[in-house]
Amino acid sequence: MALSVGIVGLPNVGKSTLFNALSSKQAEAANYAFCTIDPNVGVVEVPDARSDALIALIGPRKVVPATVDFVDIAGLVRGASKGEGRGNAFLMNIRETNAIAHVVRCFEDTNVVHVDNRVDPKADIETIETELVLKDLETAQKRLDRARKMARGNDAFEITAVALCERLVAVLDAGRMASEVQAEGPDEKKILRDMFLITSKPMFFVANVKDDQLGALEADLLVSQVRELADARGVPMVVISAAIEAEIMQLDKADRGEFLESVGLTEPGLHSVIRTGYEMLDLITFFTAGEKEVHAWDIPKGSTAPQAAGTIHTDFERGFIRAEVIAYEDYIACGSEAAAKAAGKLGVEGKQYIVRDGDIMHFRFNV
């Protein structure tokens, strides 16, 4: 199953504009078109300068980029945890994602109505997070009730569940995130994983501004509210103008550079959103590269060579013999695989090898 990032926020903060910009970007991609799985789910290419460099160097017949799913969750409102605005259905969608991009409105515009009739990023964040915490509290309390009943027969697993859920309920009831509760041991990890708690997921902020704010973001008071909260929590924040991003993606490629320069950007803000989402999923990229194909593969950080091989085909992992590895920097510096090998930059690695971000790999296997 593909890993996904859910885009959440209040209504009218720019979530769908951002999602539509992402979809427009992929619609024009030559080798991996935007793919709509549901009305609100898209497969998005991860921008990677390393892949671009390999393509320019090798000139492959086919290119397959790394991708991540983005899910446009309909706007949440106060009371969503109790079903307001079809909130329960939307919250279930969030539970099924792996990370969260919280879009926050940081612009004034009388033509765009705010659900609370004021622009206050900090209050908006509090509204959304309160609903997420309340939903998780409901989930944790139900699991605690069930665990207490089943623990009466001295079921060791359920006794463990009672202890974990009591800690969760205490934290959530105080209005804090489930991510503050660390699982102790494999049983608690399984219990926590099976609960799919929303506030245990990695999260980052996307501050949505108007184009005339882009030139003075450091002094922007609305953006500062989000930045202070992000810094205090140690989570990433990306600043974009979703409307500008949508406009950029409607332009011909040849015209985009000039337009970006005119609004003070070096690259589309979408790139930062996509890369941050990818990083929040704790993924790295390795490559298989040749004249036939340059393929970027995403794997969890800390994966071994056989596990990486298994992302290509299960037989590769099952019959793994060795991996031939060239670091990306060495490949580019040498100019080709043959030159890297001649320079002694190709390493032969076994089953214990931990794949590094950017590795270019060939696998030898036998089944």
DSSP assignment string, 179-192? GGSPP-SHHHHHHH
Contact 80, 138 (CB under 8 A): no
All residues at 6 or more sequence positions from 89 whose CB lies less than 8 Å from its CB, including other chains: none
Q: Is pLDDT at 331 greater than 60 in this prediction?
A: yes
Q: Is pLDDT at 99 greater than 90 in this prediction?
A: yes
Residue type, 1: M
The pLDDT of residue 295 is 97
Strand ranges for the chain from DSSP E: 4-8, 35-36, 41-45, 62-64, 67-72, 99-105, 203-208, 237-240, 283-289, 293-300, 320-326, 346-349, 360-365
* Band of residue 39 on the pLDDT scale cut at 50, 70, 90: very low
The per-residue b/e assignment along 32-43, b for 16 or more CB within 10 angstroms, e otherwise, is: bebeeeeebbbb
Q: Measured between alpha carbons, how far is 126 from 109 in angstroms, rounded to an integer? A: 21
The pLDDT of residue 136 is 93
pLDDT tens digits, 224-277: 999 999 999 999 999 999 988 888 888 887 888 888 888 777 888 889 999 999
Residue 287, classed as helix, strand or coil, is strand
Q: Measured between alpha carbons, how far is 11 from 105 in angstroms, rounded to an integer? A: 10
Contact 214, 107 (CB under 8 A): no
All residues at 6 or more sequence positions from 118 whose CB lies less than 8 Å from its CB, including other chains: none
What are the tokens at 324? Answer: 């031939």
Q: What's the whole-number mean pLDDT along residues 331-344?
A: 96
Q: Is pLDDT at 36 greater than 50 in this prediction?
A: no
Q: Is pLDDT at 29 greater than 50 in this prediction?
A: no
CB atoms within 10 A of CB 208: 29
Q: Measured between alpha carbons, how far is 230 from 190 in angstroms, rounded to an integer? A: 29
The pLDDT of residue 189 is 95
Chain centre distance of CA 99:
5
Q: Measured between alpha carbons, how far is 213 from 281 in angstroms, rounded to an integer? A: 30
Q: Between the CA of residue 172 and those of 132, 168, 191, what are the distances in Å?
A: 10, 6, 16
Q: Furthest-apart CA pair in the chain: how many Å?
A: 70
Q: Is pLDDT at 315 greater than 90 in this prediction?
A: yes
Q: What's the whole-number mean pLDDT along residues 265-290?
A: 91
Q: Measured between alpha carbons, how far is 143 from 158 in angstroms, rounded to an integer? A: 10
Q: Is pLDDT at 85 greater than 60 in this prediction?
A: no
Q: What's the whole-number mean pLDDT along residues 24-28?
A: 43
Q: Measured between alpha carbons, how far is 124 from 10 in angstroms, rounded to an integer? A: 7
Q: What are phi and psi of 72, to 5 degrees?
A: -85, 100
pLDDT tens digits, 215-226: 888 889 999 999
pLDDT tens digits, 104-127: 999 988 888 777 778 899 999 999
What are the tokens at 291? Answer: 């004249």
Q: Measured between alpha carbons, how far is 339 from 345 in angstroms, rounded to an integer? A: 9
Q: What's the whole-number mean pLDDT along residues 147-176?
A: 94
Q: Measured between alpha carbons, how far is 162 from 228 in angstroms, rounded to an integer? A: 36
Residues pairing with 205 in the sheet? 102, 237
Q: What's the whole-number mean pLDDT along residues 174-181?
A: 95
- How many percent of the chain have pLDDT more than 90? 62
The pLDDT of residue 24 is 60
* Band of residue 88 on the pLDDT scale cut at 50, 70, 90: low
The pLDDT of residue 77 is 56
The pTM for the full model equals 0.84
Q: Which of 37-41, 250-254, 269-273, 320-324 has the highest mean pLDDT?
A: 320-324
pLDDT tens digits, 46-83: 999 999 999 999 999 999 999 888 888 876 656 555 55
Mean pLDDT of the chain: 88
Residue matched to tokens 């708690």: 197
Is the model more confident about 84 or about 275?
275
Q: Is pLDDT at 367 greater than 90 in this prediction?
A: no
Angle at 353 between CA 348 and CA 356, to 5 degrees: 95
The per-residue b/e assignment along 302-313, b for 16 or more CB within 10 angstroms, e otherwise, is: ebbbbbbbbebe
The pLDDT of residue 32 is 36
